[in-house]
Amino acid sequence: MYQEVAENPEGDFHFYHGRAAAARFDYPLEWLDSAPRGAVESFGGVGNPHLRAALAPGETVVDLGSGAGLDAILAARQVGESGRSIGVEMNPVMREKAESNAAEAGVRVEWLQGTMEAIPLPDASADVIISNGVINLSFRKRRVTEEMFRVLKPGGRVSFTDIVSAKQLSQSIVNDPKLWAS
Ligand SMILES: C[S@@+](CC[C@H](N)C(=O)[O-])C[C@H]1O[C@@H](n2cnc3c(N)ncnc32)[C@H](O)[C@@H]1O
């Protein structure tokens, strides 16, 4: 689904995406203006994890499910040259798109292919984990949480935005993974 957005950002989708979504979630417009167009157009998040991440120069930040790269690229700009921004993405097509978007912007991000259920990073290696509309996609959320705690340094932080349903969803929605994307 997210690959479809990245390949056809003008398409009709049942969820907010692209620049309009990011603006709606209070991403500063100057951040969006200076980010690579491909990453902004393909943005598929559900909120703004940067509002609470309080990223500081020199920190190591990991973006779980980095998609076309907007959040990891914006994180790289906040942690600066002395920090590290690492995007973890399971879909190789999205990983490559993110890599070329970051190269276009001249931003250094490390792009790792892998899953949030088995984060391809050593124990206690990250100061901050961010994620935007990805954890809800996993049916192994306890495992994802264990992985986040394994990878975080003591005193590390997590800032993620996601969707939660306050009411029981109908079986037809639960059975349609396309509708999990939001
Ligand atoms: C909502 S988008 C991420 C938005 C992204 N932060 C941005 O800046 O546009 C969701 C991404 O999570 C990836 N994803 C889904 N399940 C995953 C998993 N188990 N591990 C890693 N990535 C996953 C999808 O391939 C997709 O690219």
Question: Residue with the nearest Cα to atom 23 of ligand 1?
Answer: 65
User: CB 33: neighbour CB atoms within 10 A?
Assistant: 10
- Which domains does the chain possess? 2-180 (3.40.50.150)
Residue 182 reports pLDDT greater than 70: no
Pair of tokens at residue 130:
């961010």
CA distance 164 to 81: 35
Q: Are 3 and 40 in contact (CB under 8 A)?
A: no
pLDDT at position 124 over 80: yes
Residue-wise pLDDT for 65-77, tens only, equals 999 999 999 999 9
Of ligand 1's listed atoms, the one at least distance from the Cα of 130 is 6
Atom of ligand 1 nearest to the CA of 181: 1
User: Is 40 a pocket residue for ligand 1 (Cβ < 6 Å)?
Assistant: no
User: Is residue 27 within 6 Å of ligand 1 at its C-beta?
Assistant: no
Reported confidence tier of residue 172, pLDDT bands at 50, 70, 90: confident
In tens, the pLDDT along 129-165 reads: 999 999 998 989 999 999 999 999 999 999 999 988 8
Task: Say what the pTM is.
Answer: 0.92
pLDDT at position 103 is: 95
Distance of CA 59 to the CA centre of its chain: 17
Amino acid letter for position 100? S
DSSP 39: H
CA-closest residue to ligand 1 atom 25:
91
> Packing angle between helix 92-105 and helix 70-79, nearest 10 degrees?
40
Ligand 1 near 126 CB (within 6 A):
no
In terms of phi and psi (left: phi > 0; alpha: psi -120 to 50; beta: otherwise), the region of 91 is beta
